[in-house]
Structure 1
Amino acid sequence: MTESVALCVSVNGDPRSIAAGTTLETLVSTLTTAHSGIAAAVNEAVVPRSRWATAALADGDRIEVLTAVQGG
């Protein structure tokens, strides 16, 4: 029997449980459907979009996802 391992991370300051092996790309896709104007950081280090698909998240990671907003 295979058990699913859950990790506890912080997303924009809120605790969240995610499956082991979740990538930054997968997590971001659950937060927004925007295809541009998004930046992400893991443990205060910006992760380039080109690395999101391979950036596996770990227990205790602190993730910040920001979206650009126009306005004045």
Structure 2
Amino acid sequence: MNILVNDESHQFSQPLPLLALLDELALNTAGRALAVNQVIIPRDNWPAHWLADGDEILLFQAIAGG
């Protein structure tokens, strides 16, 4: 299974949930937002959102505006 994280390819032998991927890659998620295939995934859904082969993940700094 091939997943792109911020344009970097990562190979996994089996499907995994989003939060497990972030833990495995030891990515700092504090103050960050995340999109899978250009769709924002709310932080509360990260543990239950399963990834598929070819998914593209973008982890970026969340910015508040007003």
Aligned residues: 62
1:22 positional shift: 1.1
Structure 1 residues without counterparts, runs of 5 or longer: 1-6
Q: Tell me the residue number matched to 1:32.
A: 27
**Match of 2:21, as an amino acid?**
L
TM-score, normalised by the number of residues in structure 2: 0.77
More helix by share: 1
Percent of residue pairs identical = 31
1:41 equivalenced with 2:35 (yes/no): yes
| TM-score using structure 1 length | 0.72
- Computed over aligned residues only, the root mean square deviation of the Cα atoms, in angstroms, reads 1.9
Bigger radius of gyration among the two: 1
1:25–1:52 contact (8 Å) kept in structure 2: yes
Q: What SS does the corresponding residue of 1:54 show, helix, strand or coil?
A: coil
Unaligned runs of 5+ in 2: none
